Amino acid sequence: MTELALTARKVVAFDRVILAILALLAITAAVSVDQLWASISFATDALTSILPFLALSVLIAGTAKGTSLDGQIARVFRGHPATAVVMAAAFGAAAPFCSCGVIPIVAALLAAGVPLAPVMAFWLASPIMSPSMFLLMLSVFGPAFTIAKAIAAVSMGLIGGFATYAIVKRGGFEDPLRGAASCCGCSATSVLDEKPVVLKFWKDSERRDAFMETSRESAWFLIRWMTLAFLLESLMVAYVPAEVIGQSLGANTWWAIPASVLVGVPAYLNGFAAIPTVSAMMEMGMVPGAALGFMLAGGVTSIPAAIAVYALVKRSVFVTYIALGVVGSLALSYALQPFLLG
């Protein structure tokens, strides 16, 4: 067996997203062969339509690594606490980190003694928006919803950061890390190193390699998750009656936003996979504020991220993190609903 074939077998054997795609295709084929081909065609067309945005997202992620722009995170948390919270919230929404990928960075920051308030601001804002997610959302939802979610990301960071700052000023959250977690930040040390920014990174072989590796990883991540998401969307369109979504989460139901926030906590996979799913539900009648609430709450409190947070910090910090995520999602969804309805 060739080395390429062995590598392919290892990828399939250990990649849960690939396994999920294969399982979904197998189940669809067992139910309806016609639907199998319809789903494959749907996913292919959808991926093709967002290909320019996907390519640009990959390029941005690779460039951030190659130039060391992603290594400027430590600068954000310096200075007056209030200023640090504002900067951390803005940087979190602009940083290329997901809800799980941000965990080792947060661990390293807390272990290094960085104040919890700006860390919480960064922690809450980062999973909600990133440059890659902004571009992909722009291609699916258009500017209004995408900009609203970007505003919500920064606002969520500000709410969480200043709430945490108020608690800390009153003597709360001393030594927030669990004992075993205080040494787990080693995996993020390269991100926290303040290397100089070099725009012409292609002249340095190490930076070129970093650019290529990050670009490959980003492309592989996005293609897998978007393929799975588009396949799920095709099945949702085929089998979920539009009137069910419209009646339960439509504009005339007062519970639409709270229900979406609560559903987003256990049902959310990741920000990229949620894009086609939420788009399909909106086309079926889901009110925009409810769609926003689902994406906000899910991004902050998704089960994989919540488990990682629980393992990292003490219970009081964990409960506060979840509470801020849920309350902030509700408040921001209601606040931005008039803007989304236009």
Rounded distance between C-alpha atoms, residue 145 and residue 151, angstroms: 10
pLDDT(96) > 80? no
pLDDT at 261: 82
User: Which of 170 and 108 is assigned the larger pLDDT?
Assistant: 170
User: Which of 304 and 62 is assigned the larger pLDDT?
Assistant: 62
pLDDT at 158: 96
Helices (H), ranges, 50-142: 51-67, 73-76, 81-94, 103-111, 116-125, 131-141
Q: Mean pLDDT throughout 311-333?
A: 89
pLDDT at 270: 64
pLDDT at 145: 93
Q: Phi then psi for 37, rounded to 5 degrees?
A: -70, -35
pLDDT at 22: 92
pLDDT at 191: 53
pLDDT at 52: 80
pLDDT at 252: 53
pLDDT(180) > 80? no
pLDDT at 320: 92
Q: Where are the domains of the chain?
A: 32-341
**Which residue in 30, 40, 42, 122 sits closest to 74, CA to CA?**
122
pLDDT at 183: 39
User: Which of 16 and 111 is assigned the larger pLDDT?
Assistant: 16
**Which residue in 317, 86, 98, 76 sits closest to 192, CA to CA?**
76
Give the chain's mean pLDDT. Answer: 78
Ranges 117-131, 222-236, 266-280, 307-321: which has the least confidence? 266-280
For residue range 244-269, list pLDDT tens digits in order.
555 556 655 567 888 888 776 655 65
200 is written with which tokens? 């012409």
**Which residue in 251, 249, 275 sits closest to 128, CA to CA?**
275
User: Which of 303 and 1 is assigned the larger pLDDT?
Assistant: 303
pLDDT(8) > 70? no
pLDDT at 148: 94
pLDDT at 233: 72
Q: Mean pLDDT throughout 308-319?
A: 82
Amino acid code (one letter) for 32: S
For residue range 131-161, list pLDDT tens digits in order.
888 988 998 899 999 999 999 999 999 999 9
- The highest-confidence range among 40-44, 71-75, 300-304, by mean pLDDT, is 40-44
pLDDT at 66: 81
User: Which of 340 and 7 is assigned the larger pLDDT?
Assistant: 340
Q: Reduce the DSSP state of residue 185 to 3 states and report it.
A: helix
Angle (CA) 280 283 287, round 5°: 105
pLDDT(184) > 90? no
- The highest-confidence range among 182-196, 237-251, 271-285, by mean pLDDT, is 271-285
Provide the pLDDT confidence category of residue 44 given band limits of 50, 70 and 90.
Answer: very high
Q: Mean pLDDT throughout 215-227?
A: 81
Q: Mean pLDDT throughout 183-208?
A: 66
237 is written with which tokens? 């369109």
Ranges 55-59, 134-138, 170-174: which has the least confidence? 55-59
